[in-house]
Amino acid sequence: MAFELPKLGYDYSALEPHIDARTMEIHHTKHHAAYTDNLNKALQGSGLEGKSIEEVLKNVSGQPAAVRNNGGGFYNHNLYWKILTPGGASKPEGELLDALNNSFDSFENFRDAFIQAAMTRFGSGWAWLILQDNKLAITSTPNQDNPLMDVAEVKGAPLLGVDVWEHAYYLKYQNRRADYLNAFWSLVNWDEVARRFKG
Ligand code: MN3
């Protein structure tokens, strides 16, 4: 079974004005599609065909760079589309909110730390909220790496992730990553983050 490019749960224009339709369309039909195709090619003859993407990532250190880069790209974008939603809530509620308050002193501190991690990731990469041994933590990764990979400096289960590659924001925001992150914050699907938190 080859990996397939997922369909989005909303239209390309649904996240306007925060993320524009053209960026969404190119991001999904070009970037994510290419990671998916190239992952399938890279896995041919690797012995990992038929494994889940999580299994592939967990064992990525023994694989060629094409598996690491495209496997990460495939997984990361699957998560990114799911944790975005038109008209996202400004904050989570219930157990997830309590856990964020406990771990970071306040939701506002969590938000600042997450945005800081995304702002300071030099070049292309991702910032993450992860669950690590039942504790919440913030980390970031270069390129298409993620915290599920055995090569990651900080490992855990991704709950929320933001793409800070320029292709995620350049058409609308040019070099203004901070403005994109502010817009991203209006679109977070906290129900999906909470679902991942509960596992
Ligand atoms: Mn991307």
Q: Is the dihedral of CA 118, 57, 196, 192 positive or negative?
A: positive
Residue 150: pLDDT band (50, 70, 90) is very high
The predicted pLDDT at position 134 comes to: 93
pLDDT digits (tens, 9 = 90+) for 101-132: 999 999 999 999 999 999 999 999 999 999 99
Q: How many angstroms is it from 75 CA to the middle of ligand 1?
A: 11
90-123-145 Cα angle (round to 5): 75
Q: How many angstroms is it from 105 CA to the middle of ligand 1?
A: 31
Residue 1 pLDDT > 80: no
The predicted pLDDT at position 152 comes to: 98
Residue 199: pLDDT band (50, 70, 90) is confident
Q: How many angstroms is it from 6 CA to the middle of ligand 1?
A: 14
Q: How many angstroms is it from 102 CA to the middle of ligand 1?
A: 31
C-alpha to C-alpha distance for 137 and 163, rounded to whole angstroms: 17
What rounded mean pLDDT belongs to the chain? Answer: 97
pLDDT digits (tens, 9 = 90+) for 44-55: 988 898 999 999
Buried b (16+ CB within 10 A) or exposed e, 178-195: eebbebbbbbbbbebbbe
The predicted pLDDT at position 88 comes to: 86
Q: How many angstroms is it from 165 CA to the middle of ligand 1?
A: 6
Q: Which amino acid is at 134?
A: N
